[in-house]
Structure 1
Amino acid sequence: MTITLRQLEIFEKVAVNQHVTKASEQLYLSQSAVSMAIADMERITGAPLFERRGRRLILNDRGREILPEVQEVLRRVSGIEQFLSESVGEPVGVLKVGASTTIGNYLLPKIVGEFSARHPKAKVLLYVANTQLIEEAVERGEYDLGLIEGPSHNPSLKASPWIEDELVVISGKKHPFADAGNVTVDMLAGADWIIREKGSGTREIFEAAMAAHGIEYNVSMELGHTEAIKKAVEAGMGVGCLSRMAVQRELNNWWLMEIGTPLDLRRTLYIVTRENSYQTRLFRAYTDLLESISG
Protein backbone atom coordinates (compact mmCIF):
# COMPACT_ATOMS: atom_id res chain seq x y z
CA MET A 1 0.00 0.00 0.00
CA THR A 2 1.21 3.53 -0.80
CA ILE A 3 0.26 6.90 0.64
CA THR A 4 -2.55 8.55 -1.33
CA LEU A 5 -3.08 12.22 -2.10
CA ARG A 6 -6.25 12.14 -0.04
CA GLN A 7 -4.33 10.89 2.98
CA LEU A 8 -1.84 13.75 2.58
CA GLU A 9 -4.72 16.25 2.47
CA ILE A 10 -6.16 14.77 5.68
CA PHE A 11 -2.75 14.70 7.37
CA GLU A 12 -2.20 18.38 6.56
CA LYS A 13 -5.60 19.45 7.89
CA VAL A 14 -5.20 17.51 11.12
CA ALA A 15 -1.66 18.86 11.58
CA VAL A 16 -2.79 22.46 11.14
CA ASN A 17 -5.96 22.15 13.26
CA GLN A 18 -4.55 19.68 15.80
CA HIS A 19 -8.02 18.19 15.97
CA VAL A 20 -9.88 15.48 14.05
CA THR A 21 -13.26 17.20 14.38
CA LYS A 22 -12.13 20.48 12.83
CA ALA A 23 -10.30 18.67 10.06
CA SER A 24 -13.35 16.54 9.26
CA GLU A 25 -15.57 19.62 9.04
CA GLN A 26 -13.20 21.34 6.59
CA LEU A 27 -12.84 18.21 4.47
CA TYR A 28 -16.53 17.28 4.60
CA LEU A 29 -15.63 13.83 5.94
CA SER A 30 -16.74 11.91 8.96
CA GLN A 31 -14.48 11.91 12.02
CA SER A 32 -14.05 8.17 11.69
CA ALA A 33 -12.87 8.54 8.07
CA VAL A 34 -10.28 11.13 9.13
CA SER A 35 -9.07 9.00 12.03
CA MET A 36 -8.84 5.94 9.77
CA ALA A 37 -6.81 7.86 7.16
CA ILE A 38 -4.30 9.01 9.81
CA ALA A 39 -4.07 5.49 11.22
CA ASP A 40 -3.46 4.05 7.73
CA MET A 41 -0.79 6.62 7.01
CA GLU A 42 1.00 5.88 10.28
CA ARG A 43 0.80 2.17 9.57
CA ILE A 44 2.33 2.69 6.12
CA THR A 45 5.14 4.84 7.50
CA GLY A 46 5.82 2.37 10.30
CA ALA A 47 5.52 4.72 13.29
CA PRO A 48 3.27 7.49 14.72
CA LEU A 49 3.23 10.98 13.24
CA PHE A 50 1.19 12.56 16.05
CA GLU A 51 1.16 12.62 19.85
CA ARG A 52 -2.33 12.16 21.33
CA ARG A 53 -3.08 14.65 24.08
CA GLY A 54 -6.68 14.20 25.02
CA ARG A 55 -8.71 15.02 21.93
CA ARG A 56 -5.84 16.94 20.34
CA LEU A 57 -3.33 15.52 17.86
CA ILE A 58 0.05 17.26 17.93
CA LEU A 59 2.80 16.51 15.42
CA ASN A 60 5.82 14.66 16.74
CA ASP A 61 9.31 15.15 15.30
CA ARG A 62 8.60 12.87 12.30
CA GLY A 63 5.33 14.64 11.55
CA ARG A 64 6.92 18.09 11.78
CA GLU A 65 9.66 16.99 9.37
CA ILE A 66 7.29 15.93 6.60
CA LEU A 67 4.62 18.62 7.01
CA PRO A 68 6.39 21.21 4.78
CA GLU A 69 6.94 18.53 2.11
CA VAL A 70 3.30 17.51 2.24
CA GLN A 71 2.18 21.13 1.95
CA GLU A 72 4.48 21.61 -1.06
CA VAL A 73 3.00 18.53 -2.77
CA LEU A 74 -0.52 19.81 -2.16
CA ARG A 75 0.43 23.26 -3.44
CA ARG A 76 1.83 21.78 -6.63
CA VAL A 77 -1.22 19.59 -7.18
CA SER A 78 -3.45 22.62 -6.67
CA GLY A 79 -1.39 24.50 -9.26
CA ILE A 80 -1.80 21.65 -11.75
CA GLU A 81 -5.55 21.57 -11.17
CA GLN A 82 -5.78 25.34 -11.61
CA PHE A 83 -3.76 25.21 -14.82
CA LEU A 84 -5.87 22.43 -16.28
CA SER A 85 -9.03 24.31 -15.40
CA GLU A 86 -7.81 27.60 -16.88
CA SER A 87 -6.41 26.00 -20.02
CA VAL A 88 -9.90 24.88 -21.03
CA GLY A 89 -11.20 28.44 -21.05
CA GLU A 90 -8.21 30.45 -22.26
CA PRO A 91 -4.75 29.72 -23.70
CA VAL A 92 -2.43 28.87 -20.81
CA GLY A 93 0.83 26.93 -20.79
CA VAL A 94 3.78 26.30 -23.09
CA LEU A 95 3.48 25.38 -26.78
CA LYS A 96 6.52 23.97 -28.61
CA VAL A 97 6.60 24.95 -32.28
CA GLY A 98 9.16 23.69 -34.78
CA ALA A 99 9.78 25.64 -37.98
CA SER A 100 11.99 25.07 -40.97
CA THR A 101 14.72 27.64 -41.45
CA THR A 102 13.09 30.25 -43.69
CA ILE A 103 9.79 30.22 -41.79
CA GLY A 104 11.49 30.25 -38.39
CA ASN A 105 13.83 33.12 -39.21
CA TYR A 106 11.66 35.37 -41.36
CA LEU A 107 7.98 34.71 -40.58
CA LEU A 108 7.45 33.32 -37.11
CA PRO A 109 9.22 35.84 -34.84
CA LYS A 110 6.55 38.45 -35.64
CA ILE A 111 3.75 35.88 -35.33
CA VAL A 112 5.03 34.64 -31.97
CA GLY A 113 5.26 38.23 -30.74
CA GLU A 114 1.68 38.93 -31.78
CA PHE A 115 0.45 35.73 -30.12
CA SER A 116 2.25 36.57 -26.86
CA ALA A 117 0.67 40.02 -26.83
CA ARG A 118 -2.80 38.50 -27.27
CA HIS A 119 -2.32 35.73 -24.73
CA PRO A 120 0.07 36.82 -21.94
CA LYS A 121 -0.53 33.63 -19.91
CA ALA A 122 0.71 31.47 -22.77
CA LYS A 123 4.26 30.93 -23.97
CA VAL A 124 5.48 29.74 -27.37
CA LEU A 125 8.89 28.12 -27.65
CA LEU A 126 10.23 28.26 -31.21
CA TYR A 127 12.75 25.75 -32.55
CA VAL A 128 14.36 26.17 -35.98
CA ALA A 129 15.83 23.36 -38.12
CA ASN A 130 15.44 22.01 -41.64
CA THR A 131 12.18 20.48 -42.83
CA GLN A 132 13.24 16.86 -42.36
CA LEU A 133 14.33 17.40 -38.76
CA ILE A 134 11.15 19.30 -37.93
CA GLU A 135 8.95 16.49 -39.23
CA GLU A 136 10.90 13.91 -37.25
CA ALA A 137 10.62 15.96 -34.04
CA VAL A 138 6.84 16.45 -34.46
CA GLU A 139 6.40 12.72 -35.03
CA ARG A 140 8.35 11.93 -31.82
CA GLY A 141 6.17 14.35 -29.86
CA GLU A 142 9.00 16.80 -29.12
CA TYR A 143 7.08 19.64 -30.81
CA ASP A 144 3.34 20.22 -30.72
CA LEU A 145 3.29 21.29 -34.37
CA GLY A 146 5.64 22.13 -37.18
CA LEU A 147 5.75 24.60 -40.06
CA ILE A 148 7.62 23.32 -43.09
CA GLU A 149 8.61 24.48 -46.58
CA GLY A 150 7.20 22.18 -49.22
CA PRO A 151 5.27 18.91 -48.98
CA SER A 152 5.49 16.55 -46.03
CA HIS A 153 7.14 13.17 -46.59
CA ASN A 154 6.00 11.60 -43.31
CA PRO A 155 2.77 9.61 -43.78
CA SER A 156 2.15 9.50 -40.01
CA LEU A 157 1.71 13.29 -39.89
CA LYS A 158 -1.21 15.45 -40.98
CA ALA A 159 -0.05 18.18 -43.38
CA SER A 160 -2.34 21.18 -43.93
CA PRO A 161 -1.55 23.86 -46.56
CA TRP A 162 -0.75 27.18 -44.94
CA ILE A 163 0.51 29.98 -47.21
CA GLU A 164 2.09 30.31 -50.64
CA ASP A 165 5.72 31.26 -51.19
CA GLU A 166 8.18 31.35 -54.06
CA LEU A 167 11.89 30.97 -54.45
CA VAL A 168 14.03 33.36 -56.48
CA VAL A 169 17.39 32.88 -58.14
CA ILE A 170 19.86 35.50 -56.88
CA SER A 171 23.32 36.75 -57.73
CA GLY A 172 25.72 39.44 -56.61
CA LYS A 173 25.78 42.79 -58.41
CA LYS A 174 29.02 41.97 -60.28
CA HIS A 175 28.07 38.45 -61.32
CA PRO A 176 27.49 37.89 -65.08
CA PHE A 177 23.89 36.89 -64.34
CA ALA A 178 23.21 40.38 -63.01
CA ASP A 179 23.93 41.93 -66.40
CA ALA A 180 21.94 39.28 -68.23
CA GLY A 181 18.78 39.84 -66.17
CA ASN A 182 17.16 36.72 -67.64
CA VAL A 183 19.10 33.49 -68.04
CA THR A 184 18.72 30.36 -70.14
CA VAL A 185 18.71 26.70 -69.16
CA ASP A 186 22.29 26.38 -70.40
CA MET A 187 23.38 29.32 -68.24
CA LEU A 188 21.76 27.72 -65.18
CA ALA A 189 23.56 24.46 -65.90
CA GLY A 190 26.91 26.23 -66.15
CA ALA A 191 26.60 28.27 -62.95
CA ASP A 192 28.31 27.65 -59.63
CA TRP A 193 25.49 27.10 -57.16
CA ILE A 194 25.50 27.90 -53.46
CA ILE A 195 22.53 26.05 -51.99
CA ARG A 196 20.95 24.66 -48.83
CA GLU A 197 21.74 21.23 -47.42
CA LYS A 198 19.87 18.00 -48.16
CA GLY A 199 16.71 17.73 -46.06
CA SER A 200 15.91 21.40 -46.59
CA GLY A 201 12.54 22.26 -48.14
CA THR A 202 14.20 24.99 -50.17
CA ARG A 203 16.71 22.51 -51.57
CA GLU A 204 13.93 20.08 -52.51
CA ILE A 205 11.91 22.68 -54.44
CA PHE A 206 15.05 23.92 -56.24
CA GLU A 207 16.08 20.41 -57.24
CA ALA A 208 12.59 19.59 -58.54
CA ALA A 209 12.46 22.79 -60.61
CA MET A 210 15.87 22.09 -62.14
CA ALA A 211 14.98 18.45 -62.82
CA ALA A 212 11.78 19.51 -64.59
CA HIS A 213 13.99 21.19 -67.22
CA GLY A 214 16.55 18.38 -67.24
CA ILE A 215 19.23 20.66 -65.84
CA GLU A 216 22.30 19.06 -64.28
CA TYR A 217 24.04 21.63 -62.14
CA ASN A 218 27.24 22.14 -60.17
CA VAL A 219 27.10 22.64 -56.40
CA SER A 220 30.10 24.74 -55.46
CA MET A 221 29.01 25.25 -51.85
CA GLU A 222 26.39 23.67 -49.60
CA LEU A 223 25.45 25.70 -46.53
CA GLY A 224 22.98 25.04 -43.73
CA HIS A 225 22.01 28.64 -43.09
CA THR A 226 20.21 31.12 -45.33
CA GLU A 227 22.23 34.12 -44.14
CA ALA A 228 25.49 32.38 -45.02
CA ILE A 229 24.22 31.71 -48.54
CA LYS A 230 23.18 35.34 -48.99
CA LYS A 231 26.59 36.59 -47.90
CA ALA A 232 28.43 34.16 -50.19
CA VAL A 233 26.27 35.12 -53.17
CA GLU A 234 26.65 38.81 -52.41
CA ALA A 235 30.42 38.32 -52.39
CA GLY A 236 30.25 36.92 -55.93
CA MET A 237 31.15 33.33 -55.04
CA GLY A 238 28.23 31.90 -57.03
CA VAL A 239 24.47 32.08 -57.48
CA GLY A 240 21.79 30.91 -55.11
CA CYS A 241 18.11 30.11 -54.84
CA LEU A 242 16.22 31.20 -51.72
CA SER A 243 12.76 32.21 -50.58
CA ARG A 244 11.70 35.68 -51.62
CA MET A 245 10.80 36.47 -48.01
CA ALA A 246 14.41 35.73 -47.02
CA VAL A 247 16.02 38.01 -49.61
CA GLN A 248 13.48 40.82 -50.07
CA ARG A 249 15.49 43.26 -47.94
CA GLU A 250 18.65 42.59 -49.94
CA LEU A 251 16.79 42.93 -53.25
CA ASN A 252 15.23 46.23 -52.16
CA ASN A 253 18.68 47.60 -51.29
CA TRP A 254 20.31 46.21 -54.45
CA TRP A 255 22.74 44.11 -52.42
CA LEU A 256 21.50 41.07 -54.33
CA MET A 257 20.00 40.83 -57.80
CA GLU A 258 16.93 38.81 -58.77
CA ILE A 259 17.51 36.74 -61.89
CA GLY A 260 14.75 35.79 -64.28
CA THR A 261 14.67 32.07 -65.14
CA PRO A 262 12.37 29.55 -66.84
CA LEU A 263 12.06 27.67 -63.52
CA ASP A 264 8.78 27.23 -61.66
CA LEU A 265 9.81 27.98 -58.09
CA ARG A 266 6.42 28.38 -56.46
CA ARG A 267 5.69 26.35 -53.32
CA THR A 268 3.23 25.88 -50.49
CA LEU A 269 4.20 26.08 -46.82
CA TYR A 270 2.51 23.51 -44.57
CA ILE A 271 1.44 23.05 -40.96
CA VAL A 272 2.24 19.51 -39.79
CA THR A 273 0.71 17.86 -36.72
CA ARG A 274 0.30 14.35 -35.36
CA GLU A 275 -2.84 12.57 -36.48
CA ASN A 276 -5.63 12.40 -33.87
CA SER A 277 -3.65 14.26 -31.18
CA TYR A 278 -5.71 16.20 -28.64
CA GLN A 279 -5.89 19.90 -29.47
CA THR A 280 -5.68 22.05 -26.36
CA ARG A 281 -7.09 25.56 -26.15
CA LEU A 282 -3.55 26.88 -26.52
CA PHE A 283 -2.92 24.76 -29.62
CA ARG A 284 -6.18 25.91 -31.24
CA ALA A 285 -5.53 29.57 -30.46
CA TYR A 286 -2.12 29.38 -32.14
CA THR A 287 -3.34 27.53 -35.24
CA ASP A 288 -6.27 29.96 -35.50
CA LEU A 289 -3.76 32.83 -35.67
CA LEU A 290 -1.75 31.01 -38.35
CA GLU A 291 -4.88 30.37 -40.40
CA SER A 292 -5.96 34.01 -40.13
CA ILE A 293 -2.66 34.99 -41.74
CA SER A 294 -3.16 32.52 -44.59
CA GLY A 295 -6.60 34.00 -45.24
Structure 2
Amino acid sequence: MLDLMRLFGQVVEEQSFTVVARKLGISQPAVSNQIRAFEEKLGVKLLYRKGKGFALTPEGETVYRHTLHMLAEWSELMREIGDSEILMSGKVHIGASHIPGEYLLPGYLSEFRKLYPEIKFKLSIGDSLEMAEKVLAHEVDFAVVGAIFDTEKLTSEFWMKDELGFVVSCQHPLSTSESIDLDSIKGDPMIIRETGSGHRRTFEEALAKLDLDLNDFNIALEVGSTETVKNAVRSGIGYSFLSKHALESCEKQGIKWAKVKDFNIERGFYLLTRRSKPLTVIAGECYRYLADQKTDKEQ
Protein backbone atom coordinates (compact mmCIF):
# COMPACT_ATOMS: atom_id res chain seq x y z
CA MET A 1 0.00 0.00 0.00
CA LEU A 2 2.87 2.38 0.78
CA ASP A 3 4.21 1.97 -2.77
CA LEU A 4 0.78 2.81 -4.19
CA MET A 5 0.60 5.88 -2.00
CA ARG A 6 4.03 7.01 -3.22
CA LEU A 7 2.97 6.49 -6.83
CA PHE A 8 -0.27 8.39 -6.29
CA GLY A 9 1.64 11.26 -4.69
CA GLN A 10 4.07 11.40 -7.62
CA VAL A 11 1.24 11.45 -10.17
CA VAL A 12 -0.47 14.34 -8.40
CA GLU A 13 2.84 16.20 -7.96
CA GLU A 14 3.87 15.83 -11.60
CA GLN A 15 0.32 16.19 -12.97
CA SER A 16 1.28 13.57 -15.56
CA PHE A 17 1.08 9.77 -15.80
CA THR A 18 3.60 9.87 -18.63
CA VAL A 19 6.23 11.84 -16.70
CA VAL A 20 5.94 9.52 -13.71
CA ALA A 21 6.17 6.44 -15.95
CA ARG A 22 9.33 7.81 -17.59
CA LYS A 23 10.94 8.58 -14.23
CA LEU A 24 10.14 5.12 -12.89
CA GLY A 25 11.14 3.36 -16.10
CA ILE A 26 7.75 1.70 -16.59
CA SER A 27 4.95 2.10 -19.10
CA GLN A 28 2.21 4.70 -18.83
CA PRO A 29 -0.51 1.97 -18.76
CA ALA A 30 1.30 0.37 -15.83
CA VAL A 31 1.03 3.63 -13.88
CA SER A 32 -2.66 3.93 -14.79
CA ASN A 33 -3.29 0.34 -13.70
CA GLN A 34 -1.61 0.90 -10.33
CA ILE A 35 -3.62 4.07 -9.69
CA ARG A 36 -6.76 2.11 -10.58
CA ALA A 37 -5.70 -0.64 -8.15
CA PHE A 38 -5.21 2.04 -5.45
CA GLU A 39 -8.75 3.32 -6.10
CA GLU A 40 -10.15 -0.19 -5.87
CA LYS A 41 -8.41 -0.82 -2.55
CA LEU A 42 -9.83 2.40 -1.15
CA GLY A 43 -13.24 2.00 -2.78
CA VAL A 44 -13.33 5.58 -4.06
CA LYS A 45 -12.55 7.47 -7.27
CA LEU A 46 -9.45 9.62 -6.83
CA LEU A 47 -9.06 11.35 -10.20
CA TYR A 48 -11.30 12.55 -13.00
CA ARG A 49 -10.51 13.87 -16.47
CA LYS A 50 -10.35 17.63 -16.87
CA GLY A 51 -9.49 18.94 -20.33
CA LYS A 52 -6.27 17.28 -21.46
CA GLY A 53 -5.28 16.47 -17.90
CA PHE A 54 -6.95 15.40 -14.70
CA ALA A 55 -8.04 16.76 -11.33
CA LEU A 56 -8.57 15.33 -7.87
CA THR A 57 -12.04 14.35 -6.74
CA PRO A 58 -13.05 15.52 -3.24
CA GLU A 59 -12.10 12.04 -2.00
CA GLY A 60 -8.84 12.34 -3.93
CA GLU A 61 -8.02 15.62 -2.16
CA THR A 62 -8.54 13.90 1.19
CA VAL A 63 -6.46 10.86 0.22
CA TYR A 64 -3.68 13.08 -1.17
CA ARG A 65 -3.53 15.12 2.03
CA HIS A 66 -3.28 12.00 4.18
CA THR A 67 -0.83 10.42 1.73
CA LEU A 68 1.59 13.32 2.15
CA HIS A 69 1.26 13.16 5.90
CA MET A 70 1.76 9.39 6.08
CA LEU A 71 4.75 9.44 3.72
CA ALA A 72 6.32 12.23 5.78
CA GLU A 73 5.77 10.17 8.94
CA TRP A 74 7.29 7.12 7.26
CA SER A 75 10.29 9.18 6.16
CA GLU A 76 10.77 10.41 9.72
CA LEU A 77 10.53 6.85 11.03
CA MET A 78 13.16 5.63 8.57
CA ARG A 79 15.39 8.54 9.43
CA GLU A 80 15.16 7.83 13.16
CA ILE A 81 16.00 4.15 12.83
CA GLY A 82 18.79 4.86 10.36
CA ASP A 83 17.27 3.09 7.36
CA SER A 84 18.14 4.44 3.89
CA GLU A 85 15.29 2.70 2.08
CA ILE A 86 13.68 5.89 0.90
CA LEU A 87 15.07 7.07 -2.40
CA MET A 88 15.41 10.85 -2.37
CA SER A 89 14.46 11.66 -5.95
CA GLY A 90 11.83 13.67 -7.76
CA LYS A 91 11.06 17.36 -8.19
CA VAL A 92 10.60 20.16 -5.67
CA HIS A 93 8.75 23.24 -6.89
CA ILE A 94 9.71 26.36 -4.93
CA GLY A 95 8.20 29.81 -5.24
CA ALA A 96 10.33 32.84 -4.40
CA SER A 97 10.19 36.60 -4.41
CA HIS A 98 12.86 38.32 -6.47
CA ILE A 99 15.75 38.74 -4.02
CA PRO A 100 15.80 35.22 -2.54
CA GLY A 101 14.89 33.68 -5.90
CA GLU A 102 17.52 35.49 -7.96
CA TYR A 103 20.37 35.94 -5.49
CA LEU A 104 20.11 33.49 -2.57
CA LEU A 105 18.35 30.24 -3.45
CA PRO A 106 20.50 29.19 -6.45
CA GLY A 107 23.55 28.79 -4.21
CA TYR A 108 21.69 26.96 -1.45
CA LEU A 109 19.96 24.62 -3.90
CA SER A 110 23.29 23.83 -5.50
CA GLU A 111 24.65 22.74 -2.11
CA PHE A 112 21.50 20.74 -1.36
CA ARG A 113 21.82 18.82 -4.64
CA LYS A 114 25.28 17.69 -3.58
CA LEU A 115 23.49 15.81 -0.80
CA TYR A 116 20.65 14.54 -3.01
CA PRO A 117 21.78 14.67 -6.66
CA GLU A 118 18.63 12.89 -7.90
CA ILE A 119 16.37 15.73 -6.75
CA LYS A 120 15.40 18.31 -9.37
CA PHE A 121 13.94 21.76 -8.84
CA LYS A 122 11.56 24.18 -10.44
CA LEU A 123 11.93 27.76 -9.22
CA SER A 124 9.09 30.21 -9.89
CA ILE A 125 9.87 33.88 -9.21
CA GLY A 126 7.44 36.74 -8.70
CA ASP A 127 6.40 39.24 -6.05
CA SER A 128 5.69 38.06 -2.50
CA LEU A 129 1.91 38.27 -2.81
CA GLU A 130 1.93 36.27 -6.05
CA MET A 131 4.05 33.55 -4.41
CA ALA A 132 1.74 33.41 -1.39
CA GLU A 133 -1.17 32.84 -3.77
CA LYS A 134 0.77 30.04 -5.48
CA VAL A 135 1.33 28.34 -2.14
CA LEU A 136 -2.39 28.59 -1.38
CA ALA A 137 -3.28 27.21 -4.82
CA HIS A 138 -0.91 24.22 -4.36
CA GLU A 139 1.08 25.43 -7.39
CA VAL A 140 4.37 25.32 -5.44
CA ASP A 141 5.50 23.14 -2.53
CA PHE A 142 6.60 26.11 -0.45
CA ALA A 143 7.94 29.63 -1.01
CA VAL A 144 10.63 32.01 0.21
CA VAL A 145 9.31 35.57 0.35
CA GLY A 146 10.07 39.01 1.72
CA ALA A 147 6.90 39.44 3.77
CA ILE A 148 5.02 37.66 6.55
CA PHE A 149 1.84 35.79 5.62
CA ASP A 150 0.49 34.28 8.84
CA THR A 151 -3.15 33.51 8.11
CA GLU A 152 -5.65 30.73 8.73
CA LYS A 153 -4.15 28.81 5.79
CA LEU A 154 -0.53 30.04 5.63
CA THR A 155 2.34 30.06 8.07
CA SER A 156 5.69 31.90 7.83
CA GLU A 157 9.01 30.96 9.43
CA PHE A 158 11.77 33.57 9.66
CA TRP A 159 14.76 32.66 7.50
CA MET A 160 17.15 35.52 6.87
CA LYS A 161 17.56 39.26 7.49
CA ASP A 162 17.78 41.79 4.69
CA GLU A 163 18.60 45.49 4.53
CA LEU A 164 17.55 48.02 1.90
CA GLY A 165 19.98 50.81 1.01
CA PHE A 166 19.97 53.97 -1.10
CA VAL A 167 21.49 53.49 -4.58
CA VAL A 168 22.24 55.84 -7.48
CA SER A 169 24.22 55.70 -10.69
CA CYS A 170 27.97 56.27 -10.28
CA GLN A 171 27.48 59.30 -12.55
CA HIS A 172 24.73 60.79 -10.35
CA PRO A 173 25.67 63.96 -8.39
CA LEU A 174 24.69 62.21 -5.14
CA SER A 175 27.12 59.34 -5.78
CA THR A 176 29.91 61.25 -4.04
CA SER A 177 27.87 61.91 -0.90
CA GLU A 178 28.76 59.85 2.18
CA SER A 179 25.37 60.43 3.78
CA ILE A 180 22.06 61.49 2.25
CA ASP A 181 19.31 63.50 3.92
CA LEU A 182 15.87 62.05 3.11
CA ASP A 183 14.20 65.46 2.83
CA SER A 184 16.75 66.57 0.24
CA ILE A 185 15.84 63.81 -2.23
CA LYS A 186 12.03 64.05 -2.10
CA GLY A 187 11.91 65.97 -5.37
CA ASP A 188 14.43 63.80 -7.23
CA PRO A 189 13.16 61.01 -9.53
CA MET A 190 12.68 57.72 -7.64
CA ILE A 191 12.36 54.17 -8.99
CA ILE A 192 10.21 51.75 -6.96
CA ARG A 193 9.02 48.15 -7.10
CA GLU A 194 5.44 47.25 -7.97
CA THR A 195 2.54 46.92 -5.53
CA GLY A 196 2.52 43.44 -4.00
CA SER A 197 6.28 43.13 -3.57
CA GLY A 198 7.65 42.63 -0.07
CA HIS A 199 10.36 45.14 -0.99
CA ARG A 200 7.80 47.90 -1.56
CA ARG A 201 5.79 46.98 1.53
CA THR A 202 8.93 47.23 3.68
CA PHE A 203 9.85 50.59 2.16
CA GLU A 204 6.37 52.01 2.74
CA GLU A 205 6.38 50.77 6.34
CA ALA A 206 9.73 52.49 6.93
CA LEU A 207 8.34 55.74 5.51
CA ALA A 208 5.22 55.49 7.68
CA LYS A 209 7.42 55.45 10.81
CA LEU A 210 8.53 58.95 9.74
CA ASP A 211 4.94 60.03 8.96
CA LEU A 212 5.72 59.93 5.23
CA ASP A 213 4.33 58.00 2.27
CA LEU A 214 5.11 57.60 -1.43
CA ASN A 215 3.04 60.69 -2.28
CA ASP A 216 5.77 62.75 -0.64
CA PHE A 217 8.24 61.62 -3.30
CA ASN A 218 8.71 62.01 -7.05
CA ILE A 219 7.99 58.51 -8.39
CA ALA A 220 9.44 58.42 -11.90
CA LEU A 221 9.25 54.68 -12.59
CA GLU A 222 7.52 51.63 -11.12
CA VAL A 223 8.95 48.24 -12.15
CA GLY A 224 8.43 44.54 -11.60
CA SER A 225 11.88 43.18 -10.74
CA THR A 226 15.08 44.00 -8.90
CA GLU A 227 17.20 43.65 -12.03
CA THR A 228 15.00 46.23 -13.79
CA VAL A 229 15.46 48.59 -10.85
CA LYS A 230 19.25 48.16 -11.11
CA ASN A 231 19.24 48.78 -14.84
CA ALA A 232 17.05 51.87 -14.46
CA VAL A 233 19.31 53.26 -11.72
CA ARG A 234 22.42 52.51 -13.78
CA SER A 235 20.93 54.34 -16.77
CA GLY A 236 20.39 57.47 -14.67
CA ILE A 237 16.59 57.57 -14.50
CA GLY A 238 16.72 58.09 -10.76
CA TYR A 239 17.62 56.68 -7.37
CA SER A 240 16.14 53.73 -5.54
CA PHE A 241 16.45 51.54 -2.44
CA LEU A 242 17.73 48.01 -3.03
CA SER A 243 18.54 44.89 -1.03
CA LYS A 244 22.15 44.46 0.06
CA HIS A 245 21.96 40.90 -1.34
CA ALA A 246 21.47 42.32 -4.84
CA LEU A 247 24.41 44.68 -4.66
CA GLU A 248 27.61 42.68 -4.32
CA SER A 249 30.40 44.62 -6.05
CA CYS A 250 27.79 47.25 -6.88
CA GLU A 251 30.29 49.85 -8.08
CA LYS A 252 31.46 47.40 -10.74
CA GLN A 253 27.83 47.44 -11.89
CA GLY A 254 27.84 51.24 -12.21
CA ILE A 255 25.82 51.71 -9.02
CA LYS A 256 26.80 53.49 -5.78
CA TRP A 257 25.39 52.59 -2.36
CA ALA A 258 25.06 55.38 0.22
CA LYS A 259 23.55 55.75 3.68
CA VAL A 260 20.46 57.86 4.32
CA LYS A 261 20.61 59.75 7.61
CA ASP A 262 18.23 58.31 10.26
CA PHE A 263 16.54 56.01 7.75
CA ASN A 264 17.34 52.33 8.28
CA ILE A 265 15.23 49.79 6.37
CA GLU A 266 15.40 46.19 7.53
CA ARG A 267 13.16 43.24 6.81
CA GLY A 268 13.17 39.46 6.86
CA PHE A 269 12.83 36.69 4.33
CA TYR A 270 10.43 33.93 5.32
CA LEU A 271 9.78 30.29 4.45
CA LEU A 272 6.10 30.08 3.57
CA THR A 273 3.95 26.92 3.69
CA ARG A 274 0.32 25.84 3.96
CA ARG A 275 -0.82 25.04 7.49
CA SER A 276 -3.05 22.11 6.54
CA LYS A 277 -0.90 20.36 3.90
CA PRO A 278 2.24 18.46 4.89
CA LEU A 279 5.13 18.70 2.46
CA THR A 280 6.22 15.75 0.36
CA VAL A 281 9.22 13.83 1.67
CA ILE A 282 11.70 15.53 -0.66
CA ALA A 283 10.13 18.99 -0.32
CA GLY A 284 10.21 18.59 3.45
CA GLU A 285 13.87 17.64 3.35
CA CYS A 286 14.65 20.71 1.21
CA TYR A 287 12.60 22.95 3.50
CA ARG A 288 14.48 21.67 6.57
CA TYR A 289 17.82 22.16 4.82
CA LEU A 290 16.98 25.80 4.05
CA ALA A 291 15.63 26.35 7.56
CA ASP A 292 18.94 25.10 8.95
CA GLN A 293 20.72 27.89 7.02
CA LYS A 294 18.82 30.51 9.01
CA THR A 295 20.99 33.56 9.71
CA ASP A 296 20.66 36.57 12.01
CA LYS A 297 17.62 37.06 14.17
CA GLU A 298 14.10 38.17 13.39
CA GLN A 299 13.49 41.84 14.01
Alpha-carbon shift at residue 150 of structure 1 (Å): 2.4
Give identity over the alignment, percent: 26
Q: Counterpart of 1:73?
A: 29
Q: Counterpart of 2:279?
A: 279
Contact 1:91 1:285 in 2 (8 A): no
Q: What is the aligned counterpart of 2:179 among 182, 200, 223?
A: 182
Q: Residues 111-147 of structure 1: CA distance to partner in whole angstroms, max 9, x if unpaired?
A: 2222223212222111001101000010111111011
Structure of larger gyration radius: 1
Q: How many residues align?
A: 224
Say which SS state the counterpart of residue 204 (structure 2) adopts: helix
Whole-Å Cα distance in 2 between the matches of residues 77 and 158 of structure 1? 37
Alpha-carbon shift at residue 154 of structure 1 (Å): 4.7
Q: Does 1:150 align with 2:106?
A: no
Q: Counterpart of 1:230?
A: 230
Q: Residues 15-66 of structure 1: CA distance to partner in whole angstroms, max 9, x if unpaired?
A: xxxxxxxxxxxxxxxxxxxxxxxxxxxxxxxxxxxxxxxxxxxxxxxxxxxx
Q: Counterpart of 1:256?
A: 255
Contact 1:194 1:222 in 2 (8 A): yes
Q: Does 1:194 align with 2:191?
A: yes
Kindly report which structure 2 residues correspond to 1:33-112, keeping only aligned pairs within 5 A, or say none: 73-74=29-30, 88=75, 89-112=86-109
Distance 1:114 1:183, change over 3 A: same
User: Which deviates more from structure 2 when the two are superposed, residues 138-147 or residues 177-186?
Assistant: 177-186
Give the letter aligned to residue 257 of structure 2: E
How does the TM-score come out when normalised to structure 2?
0.68
Distance 1:175 1:139, change over 3 A: same
Alpha-carbon shift at residue 247 of structure 1 (Å): 1.5
Alpha-carbon shift at residue 267 of structure 1 (Å): 0.7
Kindly report which structure 2 residues correspond to 1:264-275, keeping only aligned pairs within 5 A, or say none: 264-275=264-275
Kindly report which structure 2 residues correspond to 1:111-130, keeping only aligned pairs within 5 A, or say none: 111-130=108-127
Alpha-carbon shift at residue 75 of structure 1 (Å): 5.8
More helix by share: 1
Q: What is the aligned counterpart of 1:172 among 166, 169, 182?
A: 169
Distance 1:204 1:182, change over 3 A: same
Contact 1:135 1:154 in 2 (8 A): no
Structure 1 unaligned blocks of 5 or more: 6-70
Whole-Å Cα distance in 1 between the matches of residues 185 and 71 of structure 2? 59
Say which SS state the counterpart of residue 294 (structure 1) adopts: coil
Whole-Å Cα distance in 2 between the matches of residues 209 and 181 of structure 1? 21
Q: Counterpart of 1:63?
A: none
Say which SS state the counterpart of residue 236 (structure 1) adopts: coil
